[in-house]
Structures are given as structure tokens and as C-alpha cells.
Structure 1
Amino acid sequence: MSYIQQEFSQGVCTLRMNRPEKFNSFVRDMAMDLQVKLDEAAADDSVRCIVLTGVGKAFCAGQDLAEATDPNGPELSNIVSEHYNPIIQRIRRIEKPVIAAVNGVAAGAGANIALACDIVLATESASFIQAFSKIGLIPDSGGTFFLPRLVGWQRASALMMTGEKVSATDAVSIGMIYKAIPDDQFEASVLEMANQLAQMPTKGLGLTKRALNQSFGNNLSQQLDLEDELQSQAGRTDDYAEGTRAFLEKRKPEFKGH
């Protein structure tokens, strides 16, 4: 059984975490498999959008604690540094849109992997839990970086310290995620957005992602300089030439992602 199912369709690569009997909680082999699949999607020029989701009722319940507490299993520090940190780094480094399609509970590292993605869509029945405090740990997988930037210091502190469950609709209202979608419309809505992004000028989208990444550490002057640099790069793409031609010719553009 593959821990990460991989599917390609019309420029979209869908990666499905596949331990449904364990609510897609991570073990080492699953984390390593996801790293490999993300690398493959990043290197494949035919892939213009990536969707990360789960098989079954859950998105991802975080770390499988049976592995974490196994005397013969990996050390906790290795789980963070070798399993999760490389996943987060890959998601942010890939200059293609990455959608988290949260089809159920997203807890612990599972929640923070979702929040590291560019766009988070969730079923209305889904929920997000910073479960770390329940077992005496701190949020990892970029949680202490992304969550306060999404929802503010106070909310992030409270959610991380109390481990309170946040419904998908509440997550939208506080700015944690983009949209909550009725369960029976979810798959179609995710596919629609993924196909839309895959048909857009994805080189420009990748440069946008680079600018957003660097905005976390730049002051205004540095960010303005970066925008100048990246806009020049975007202006040299074939997609920019096609977009302007299509606008002037009053037709739909046909972007190629380069």
C-alpha cells in the first residue's frame, strides 16, 4: 500500500494521504513518501497545481503517537527535523499553487501542514485542532509561524494553549482558511479551483508565492525592491505576452505556465 496516492489530471497533481484507518496520521515512511511526491510534482513541468488531501474521513490527525513513543522508533527531535520540517519547506518552496483540501479533521502537524499551503479549502464538517498542548508538546510544522500571522497573536496563543477545536466555518471567519464548502459539493469545488489555477499563468503565480514568502522577513523598502525585480521577471514570460495579446484581441488567453 502506498502511503501517498498520486493522481494526475489536466495539469493538477492530487496527493492523498492514505492511512484512513489511523485518520491519516504520519509515520516515518509516510512523511518520506510525501517528501518524494512533492519533489516529483515540483520537477514535473506538466504539473501546474498541487492538491493535498486525505483518504477517508480525516485530512490528517498529525503524528502517529504509537511510533513516537516506540522505544525502537525515531526520536521526537528527528520526527520534527526529518519528517515535518522538510514537508513544510517543500510546500513553501514549490513555485506552484498548493491547495490543502481538508476533507475532515486536521489536528496537530496535520493542521499546520494545511496552514502552510497557499490556499486552504475545507468541508463544512472539517475541524482544525492545535492538539499539541494536550500531550505537553509545542506546536511544530510551522504552526507558531503561520497561525499568528493568519489569525493574530491572541487567537493563536489561545488556540495553541487550550487546544480548542475550530470548525471550518469558524476558521473562515477568523481568517485561518479561505473557504468552507458544503460536504456534498467539496470534491467538485476543489477540482474546479485546481483546474482554474492550473490554467492560469503559473510562472507568475510562482513568483507571487516567492514574493509572499519573502514578505515575512522584509521591510517595506526591501519588499518594493523585490516586487520590482520579480515584476521584471514576470514581464519577460511567454504568459505575460499571451495575456496582453489576448486582452487586446478580446479573447480568452491560453497560458502555458512559462
Structure 2
Amino acid sequence: MTPPSMVLRLLQAIPRAKASGALYWLLTWGRGRLEGGEFLASVQAEKRGNVALVTLNRPRVLNAFDREVIHALTRLAEEFGRDPGVRAVVVTGAGGNFSSGADIAELRGLGGVLEARELTREAHRMMGAIERCPKPFIAAVTGNAVGGGQELCLACDLRVAGEGATFGQVEVNIGSIPSWGGTQRLARTVGVAYAKDLVYTGRLVGAREAFEKGLVSRLVPDDQVLEEAFSLARRIAEQAPLAIEASKASLSRAFDNDLAANLAHDVDLFSALYASEDLQEGLRAFLEKRAPEYRGR
């Protein structure tokens, strides 16, 4: 782990951006707090009053998750939970898309089953940190929210989507499963029958269908997504913080009986699949832009 003093020195060495609308990183580490310093990595964060905005910033790969993104989101969720100045969090994506899910190139390059297993556990820690954070998370979705992108949406408390947004658990199309919690959270959000429809077919669904099925909380024109998400976040932030935290804690327990066991089972399933010829073929075919040839082994 990088020592806090080193992180502070590195951030202080980065000049403050002068461009209009620049994002500024807020880092709270122990008792020390650094405000300012431009943060231009794959995840950007800023505070607007008592609402935090987190932006996935890998637009060239449709904001796909690599380990840097996973670790950054985990840390941010933990930091926001400890920061009394944050009462709600909005998560969005840069470049017109929310997230296309796991970085397929990174997934293909994993060193084997053990590394695939650890990556899945790291993703579980990220989703769990968001769910355990006492502050509500709101996903502001434009463009694609598929695979791990939809799984991130499901870990958030609420989802605001643009009318042109697209959702889907597409993992079956590369011979895999929604191993980052999608099987469990999707079924608990929209019901088992509809979850099976999406998971078994890997099909994409439009925002209207997602809204009608309860996957999306609010549906607005694409150019109003962030505005609506912030309006919702500010409404929540106006409420009694302890009441909101208690409400989230109570609601989070509604389906918690076997969640940990089910997620652990997903790790086992994905680890076994990663060793299969079919998943490796699916990854190769995706990168080579061709149809996969599955052999059932």
C-alpha cells in the first residue's frame, strides 16, 4: 500500500487545473485531508456541496473496468462512508456511456484460474463497499450499461437512465456468467423469471423496458440524466443523515440471508468457467471481432 505521506506529496505536485469545469480530487486519508489537485486517471471524483460525483473515465474502451477502476471505486466508497460532508453519491461515465463491464483484454490476459478468482473477489469487494457505504449511491446512466456495468448499477441504490440507454447481462455471449453479483442482484431487483431471460439470452434491452421491469428507477431524456440524478441526490441529502443511513442499512438486509454464500458460489462458478475452452474462445473471438465457436468443454 502506498504510504499516505507519499500520496499527499504526489497529489500536491500536480498543478491545479485552470480549465473551466475541471474535476478536482478530494482525498480523505485518516485525519489528513487534501482538497484540490487535478486527478486525470481512470476514475474522477469531486464534491458538489454534500453530493459526490464519481465519473468512470475510460471512454476509449467504453469505461470498461480494469483493476485500477475496481480499486479506485472500492476506496472511494469507503472514503465517502467516513466523510460526514458526503450524504449521497452519483456515479456516471464519461464519453456518453456508463460502462461496458470488464476489460476483455485484461480478462484475457489473466495468468490463470487463481488470478481470475482473485479478480472476481476484488470486484465483489468493490460492489460490497458500495452496498455497505451508508450513503446512497445513484447510477446516472447514458449509453451502455452492460455486463459489469449493469452489475455496478445493481449495486447502487437507485438508477436514473436516459431514454437511449441500453442494459444487459451479456456474459453468456463470451461463455461466462455475471460473476460480479449480477445473478443475485438482478434476480432480487427484477425477479427470477426476468433475470433468467436476460442472463440466459445475453440480450440487450432498452431503457424503456428496463424501467417497466423495475431495473431503472427514473427514466428521462438523455440530456437530463445527470441533472435528474443530482436532483434526486440533493433531495436525499436534505433528509436526516442518520435516518437515511438507518434506512439503507435496513433495506439492505431485506434479501441478505444467503447473499454472501451465493456470491461465493459465483466465484467458484466463474473460476471453473475461466478454465474452460469455451470462455477462452469467447474472449479470443471478442478481441478478434469474429463469431465464437463453442465446443462445450
Give how far 1:75 is off. Answer: 2.3
Give how far 1:146 is off. Answer: 1.3
Give how far 1:187 is off. Answer: 2.1
Spell out structure 1 runs of 4+ moving beyond 4 A: 71-74
Match of 1:169 among 182, 193, 208: 208
Paired with 2:233 and 2:256, the residues of 1 have a C-alpha distance of 29
1:68 matched to which residue of 2? 107
Paired with 2:195 and 2:143, the residues of 1 have a C-alpha distance of 21
Match of 2:253 among 214, 225, 228: 214
1:154 matched to which residue of 2? 193
Asked whether the equivalents of residues 57 and 93 of structure 2 are also in contact (C-alpha less than 8 Å), the reply is yes
AA in 2 matched with 1:188: E
Q: Does 1:81 align with 2:121?
A: yes
2:83 matched to which residue of 1? 44
Q: Secondary structure at the match of 2:63?
A: coil
1:35 matched to which residue of 2? 74
Specify whether residues 58 and 211 from structure 1 end up closer, same or farther in structure 2 by C-alpha distance, changes over 3 A only: same
1:114 matched to which residue of 2? 153
Paired with 2:103 and 2:159, the residues of 1 have a C-alpha distance of 23
Give how far 1:201 is off. Answer: 1.1
Paired with 1:134 and 1:191, the residues of 2 have a C-alpha distance of 34
Paired with 2:89 and 2:110, the residues of 1 have a C-alpha distance of 36
Asked whether the equivalents of residues 128 and 165 of structure 1 are also in contact (C-alpha less than 8 Å), the reply is yes
Paired with 1:55 and 1:174, the residues of 2 have a C-alpha distance of 26
Match of 1:10 among 41, 49, 70: 49
Paired with 1:12 and 1:23, the residues of 2 have a C-alpha distance of 25
- Post-superposition CA distance 1:195-243 (Å, at most 9, x none): 111111121111111111112146xxxxxxxxxxxxxxxxxxxxxxxxx
Count of matched residue positions in the alignment of Structure 1 and Structure 2: 217
Q: Does 1:22 align with 2:61?
A: yes
Asked whether the equivalents of residues 68 and 75 of structure 1 are also in contact (C-alpha less than 8 Å), the reply is no
Q: Does 1:189 align with 2:264?
A: no
Asked whether the equivalents of residues 107 and 131 of structure 1 are also in contact (C-alpha less than 8 Å), the reply is yes
- Post-superposition CA distance 1:25-65 (Å, at most 9, x none): 01111211111122221111100001111111210111111
Question: TM-score if structure 1 supplies the norm length?
Answer: 0.80
Q: Secondary structure at the match of 2:95?
A: coil
1:229 matched to which residue of 2? none
- Post-superposition CA distance 1:133-153 (Å, at most 9, x none): 001111122111111122221
Return 5+ residue gaps in structure 1 as ranges. 219-258
Asked whether the equivalents of residues 115 and 177 of structure 1 are also in contact (C-alpha less than 8 Å), the reply is no
Specify whether residues 37 and 71 from structure 1 end up closer, same or farther in structure 2 by C-alpha distance, changes over 3 A only: closer
Which shifted more, 67-76 or 88-97? 67-76
Return 5+ residue gaps in structure 2 as ranges. 1-39, 258-297
Paired with 1:49 and 1:159, the residues of 2 have a C-alpha distance of 30
Paired with 2:225 and 2:110, the residues of 1 have a C-alpha distance of 41
- Post-superposition CA distance 1:168-195 (Å, at most 9, x none): 1110101112111101222221121111
Which shifted more, 161-170 or 68-77? 68-77
Paired with 1:209 and 1:142, the residues of 2 have a C-alpha distance of 19
AA in 2 matched with 1:88: M
Question: TM-score if structure 2 supplies the norm length?
Answer: 0.70
Q: Secondary structure at the match of 1:120?
A: strand
Q: Percent identity?
A: 35
Paired with 1:145 and 1:72, the residues of 2 have a C-alpha distance of 27
